[in-house]
A and B are shown apart, each in its own frame.
Chain A
Amino acid sequence: MPALLEVSDLCAGYGAADVLDRIAFTVEEGGVTAVLGANGAGKTTLLRAVCGLIRRRGKVRFGTEAIETRATEDIVRLGLAHAPDGRGTFLQLTTEENLRVGALTRRDRAGVAEDMAKVYRYFPRLKERRQQQAGTLSGGEQQMLAIARALMLRPRLLVLDEPSFGLAPLVVQDIFSIMRTVNREDRVSILLVEQNAKLALDLADRAYLLETGRVIRGGPVAEIRDDETVRRSYLGY
């Protein structure tokens, strides 16, 4: 089966200078791909480039579509949901309105209602706070909201930028187990940027190592896990 997302020769950046240098990676249909790298390596930039939020060139194929020249709105409508760095919460809207925004492009009302119930099952905390202004949620709750909002698109590919950022260890466990469910049961493929390499590699089937805008290692997780550099710099043994 061909990959769901296939990126090659991707260069991208802000202003005149490129941050990313000829990046290549894939996310398999139904798979989880993890991107690891130090602060400033270009992980967030990579996700932004895939979603068309910044200037980029190269090849990006999503499903059957070439998306390297498409606008973000159109890429999202193809079924790619991105929970961005910083969470992107609509602070002045209520929790439930945030979730409704995630589903605004959908026309299947019944399906939206189903998914609303489903994300509330995944994140009961959000259900308790459904009428609360989202700006008053805690950081962890906003992270849950960002993932839930992305899921409301009923995406084919879920793109997550450091979902564990700033969360208590138990909450991180929770979120990773929900991502596993979403991947296994709802058949959503996942592209994941994560500092917690151990958790990321446990979930992923492919992983890529980014260093100053370049992929320096990449492939099936089994190989990456045994890699000397990865073990020393990211897993710490």
Chain B
Amino acid sequence: MDAFLHQLFSGVATGGIYASVALALVMIYQATHHINFAQGEMAMFSTYLAWTLIAAGAPYWIAFVLTVGISFVLGVVIERVLIRPMAHAPVLSVVIVFIGLLVILNSLAGWIFSYTIKSFPSPFDGVIPGNAFMSPHELGIIGVTLVVLALLYGFFRFTSLGLAMRAAALNPVSSRLAGIRVGRMLGLGWGLAAAVGAVAGMMVAPVIYLDPNMMAGVLLYAFAGALLGGIDNPIGAVIGGFVVGVVENLVGTYLIGTELKLTVALVLIIGVLVFRPAGLMGKVVVIRV
């Protein structure tokens, strides 16, 4: 029983990572109708940044906050320099830009930091007395994820800037007619997505170790989670991320073994695309003409 609970909680913890990355994907999808294939590599790069800061002697949480801040700025810059000029480009061109960004960030990280695997510290250590099925780091991941999700929810739901960003993503022309600076809102969205990805990268790195390809699997699971919940539905994507984390862990442990775990993501993605393209919780937008 303890072993099962242990797997379950590990699943929730990694699910939190997938949920965060899924949310970052959805935020950019809603604004641009594109999947940011480079989301994982952006997070990986941020994690190297944190590693560099920590190696240079910065205390963990200082490095954490700095990394989130710098990643936000980098996200804004990427939108401004690479994405905005593509605003009216055909879908395929945009996809190629995303893949180009993925490859460039990956090689850049390999070139600067080498492809050797590094360990990454966790700020959560010690033992939780009387708790055999959850490590402090897993508990920490879940806590950090919930804080990030709550902050984002509050921001989008209750602040004027959050409302302006949602409006800009949903209907750019009407937003401009309400005086909203749509371009600036898109940039902010990219910044936020990059910042959320950075947190996810720093949380997952102690578990899967730091190397330039660390996020490939995470991105696939996150994508499966986002699709499962509905690529247009932030709350659905978050739930989808958690579900994928748990399913992946349980199926990997009890059914097919860890080597084949990644196929779970693939099966989910294909299954959702074939049977339920809007996702299980895909928001059905009722449109009257």
A interface list, Cβ under 8 A from B: 51, 53, 71-73, 76-77, 81-82, 84, 88-93, 97, 100-102, 104-105, 133, 135-139, 142, 149, 153
B88 at the interface (CB under 8 A from A): no
* Pair A73/B181 contact, Cβ less than 8 Å: yes
Give every chain B residue within 8 A of A88 (Cβ-Cβ).
171, 173-174, 177
Q: Which of B163, B176, B285 contacts A135 (CB 8 A)?
A: B285
Which residues of chain B have a CB within 8 Å of any CB of chain A?
Answer: 160, 163-164, 166-167, 170-171, 173-182, 283, 285-289
Q: Which residues of A contact B164 (CB under 8 A)?
A: 101, 104
CA distance A231 to B209 in the complex (A): 80
Which of A89, A92, A135 has the most chain B CB atoms closer than 10 A to its own CB? Answer: A92
Rounded to whole angstroms, the CA-CA distance of A136 and B286 in the bound complex is: 6
Which residue in A71, A76, A91 is a CB contact (below 8 Å) of B170?
Answer: A91
Q: Beyond A73-B181, A135-B288, is A101–B163 a contact (Cβ under 8 Å)?
A: yes
Contact A105/B178 with A84-B173, A88-B171, A88-B173 known, Cβ cut-off 8 Å: yes
Instruction: Let me know if A76 and B173 touch, CB within 8 A.
Output: no
- Contact residues in B for A137 (Cβ distance below 8 Å): 288
Contacts of A149 in B (CB 8 A): 178
| Best-buried of A77, A89, A102, A104 by chain B (most CB within 10 Å) | A104
Bound: A90/B285 CA distance, A: 11
Check A139 against B289 for contact (C-beta < 8 Å): yes
Q: Which listed residue, A73, A82, A97, touches B180 by the CB 8 Å rule?
A: A73
Question: In the docked arrangement, what's the CA distance between A92 and B283, Å?
Answer: 9
List chain A residues, Cβ under 8 A from B177: 51, 53, 72, 76, 81-82, 84, 88
A29 to B230, CA, bound (A): 50
| Nearest B residue to A149, CB-CB | B178
